[in-house]
Chains A and B, each alone.
Chain A
Amino acid sequence: MSTLETAAPRIAADSDTLLEIRDLTKHYPVRKKLFGRRPAGAVRAVDGISLSIKRGETIGIVGESGCGKSTTGRAVLRLVEPTAGEILFEGTDVRALNPEQLRKFRTNMQMVFQDPYASLDPRWTVRQILEEPLRTHEPSSQREREERIDALMETVGLSPYHAGRFPHEFSGGQRQRIGIARALALNPRFIVCDEPVSALDVSIQSQVLNLMQDLQERLGLTYMFISHDLSVVRFISDRVGVMYLGKLVELAPTRELFDLPLHPYTQALMSAVPQPDPDAPRDRIVLKGDVPSPANPPSGCAFHTRCPAAMDRCRSEMPELREQSGRQVACHLYG
């Protein structure tokens, strides 16, 4: 365990920005004709996201299904190839790396997946799963790897005694711990967590979240935490970005965002969170209609079709993400 802690010291560098994302875009081409060469359009899964992530912070990304949050996480790691934009990891332009450089660079950034039942190869033992990253990147002896695997398992709260077992012999929470151990194996500094607890029972969710927070403190990790569960995001995030139809509509420190959501979409989202107190006054904002298709987003502000506060200007002019008293919001109501 101690090896893990010394391996990743908190870096007090001159710049506290770890990751700078500029105008990140991922479009999936849509071909209309059977033999059409030219794309007839594009699904704008991620449509120009800019974001800078500080060392050691957890940035939460929320939004409903299909808003592009998972694609954003994968595009940052280049697990899906971004269409445009810049990803700067401590000044390194991740998009400019060639495949072999990228393969080596992956030690810096890892991912924890949503479904712990699907993210572990069913034919591999836990030992093999955890050994894979070590074998891939570090020339090491069998014994060194064994020790490292034991340390990793202890770090995530599993007994090394169980390393010879297969994933199906573990519970969902234990599997997710294995997934986290695998992500930690290479001492990454940045981890994209794609809905890491949404497949787990509520009682297990808190354990895994606590573990993740604990690891963050001990290892100085930076998280991008993607979820549709607002209470989970509120618990773990320092700052939260709200996504709608491939765009970031609001980005603010967690407390401020939850206390006073500025964007009408954020307000609607917040009002949907169940309240534990049945007598508490509630202003539930129910949005009309469905999310428009990302293949054919509305003109102007993408949210204007469902926005209770839409103005004429919203239909024609797309609002930029603007600084608004220490937070950022993309809405014509503010500016």
Chain B
Amino acid sequence: MSETATTLVPNPVPQPSARADLRKRQTFARLLLKNRLAVLGLSFIVIWTLLAVIAPWVSPYEPTLTDTASKLQSPNAAHWFGTDNFGRDVLSRVLYGARISIWTGLIAVAISLCIGVPLGGIAAYYGGRLGSVIMRLMDILLAFPSLVLSMAIAASIGAGLTSAMIAVGIVGIPEFARLMYGQTISLKEKEYIEASRAIGVKDNVILFRHILPNALAPLLVQATLGMGFAILTASSLSFLGLGVKPPIAEWGAMISEGREYIISGQWWLVTFPGLGIATSILGFNLLGDGLRDILDPRLRSGK
């Protein structure tokens, strides 16, 4: 794009921004659709989210309705996924379980994001002793095996869905803090950040309006992957009796309740909730990996 020879003459720039923006979004969609694994992951997520939303309308039975007359039935026409030891319909429970799992994942990731991102950003932006203290605290959190730590936190708050969400959320904080820390460290050296400082823009404005938007892509990837982790950990907590209380349908709790029946041959009690956990986590992980590939500037720079 060459400028005209005389100064002070504005130059018409081709491509109005709306169109360029639209094209950018289109390339993003196309790149996503070209990545087959990401599409598979996205479809798992969409299906589970949809099922979770419409569970009350599509479930053939109430998830907590006991019917001792028809307990431990293998999958049949009336109970597609069979029934458990109280005669509850496993299909209905799996569908209702999706609501809890996805909801738990969302809340837990939101907790991790809302605490981890500001901590990492502040630690990197101000640096010094404050930054060291914050990041060493994150290292301490990270040093514990995540399941052990979430168990400890959940147990200390008291078993229940809310405490499981909080526990999983806290365990996820250091990942986001470290990610944001690294992003901020590199972004704060950019000239446009220096320009804002030269203008006298307040630090919180710089952090939220300049650094955060530019750090969003990797955070999005991490949040997607974190959903899978959160669902798994929350299910594990429920399996261990630290999550939701019976008789609420939750995948981890269902596996826990059904595990004694594996040996006696009632495989459907653990298989279907297990598949629910597996496919939803797989979905989030595949989508997260796909997003990482698409949003990675090194892979896109060639375009």
Contact = CB atoms under 8 A, between A and B. Distances in A.
Interface of A: 74, 77, 79, 102-107, 109-111, 113-115, 118-125, 132-133, 136-137, 157-159, 161-162, 164-166, 169-171, 173-174, 179, 182, 185-186, 203-204, 207, 210-211, 214
B7 A103 contact: no
Interface string B152-193: 000000000000000000000000000000000000001110
Contact of B13 (A106, A114, A137, A170): A170
B3 A114 contact: no
A211 B7 contact: yes
B11 A171 contact: yes
Interface of B: 1-3, 7-13, 15-17, 20, 190-192, 194-202, 205, 210, 213-214
Nearest to B17: A165
A77 B199 CA distance: 10
A171 B210 contact: no
A164 B197 CA distance: 23
A34 to B, nearest CB: 14
Closest 7 CB pairs of A and B: A159-B10, A106-B200, A157-B8, A119-B191, A103-B200, A171-B1, A118-B191
5 contacts: A109-B198, A119-B195, A120-B192, A121-B210, A174-B11
B11 A123 contact: no
A214 B200 contact: no
B199 A79 contact: no
Residue from B17, B202, B213 with most neighbouring chain A CB atoms (10 Å): B17
Contacts of B10: 157-159, 161-162
Contacts of A79: 194, 197-198
Contacts of B200: 102-107, 133, 136-137
A113 B199 contact: no
A142 to B, nearest CB: 17
Contact of A121 (B2, B7, B15, B192): B192
A77 to B, nearest CB: 6
Contacts of B15: 169
B194 A113 contact: yes
A69 to B, nearest CB: 16
A171 B53 CA distance: 49
Given A103-B202, A106-B198, A125 B17 contact: yes
B199 A179 contact: no
A241 B176 CA distance: 48
Given A157-B8, A157-B9, A110 B190 contact: no
Given A123-B213, A136-B205, 8 more contacts: A79-B198, A103-B200, A110-B198, A120-B192, A122-B192, A137-B199, A165-B17, A171-B11
Residue from A121, A133, A182, A210 with most neighbouring chain B CB atoms (10 Å): A121
A124 B8 CA distance: 23
Contacts, number: 105
Residue from A74, A164, A169 with most neighbouring chain B CB atoms (10 Å): A169
A207 B195 contact: no
B219 to A, nearest CB: 14
Contacts of B191: 113-115, 118-119
Contacts of A169: 13, 15, 17, 20
Contacts of A113: 191, 194-195
A113 B191 CA distance: 7
Nearest to A173: B3
A185 B198 CA distance: 12
A115 B197 CA distance: 16
Given A121-B192, A164-B17, A211-B8, A77 B198 contact: yes
Nearest to A112: B195
Contacts of A115: 191
A186 B191 CA distance: 19
Contacts of B13: 162, 165, 169-171, 174
A161 B197 CA distance: 27
A120 B199 CA distance: 13
Contacts of B213: 123
Residue from B9, B16, B20, B198 with most neighbouring chain A CB atoms (10 Å): B198
A170 B195 CA distance: 19
A173 B8 CA distance: 12
B192 A204 contact: no
Given A174-B13, A214-B7, A118 B197 contact: no
Contact of B195 (A103, A111, A137): A111
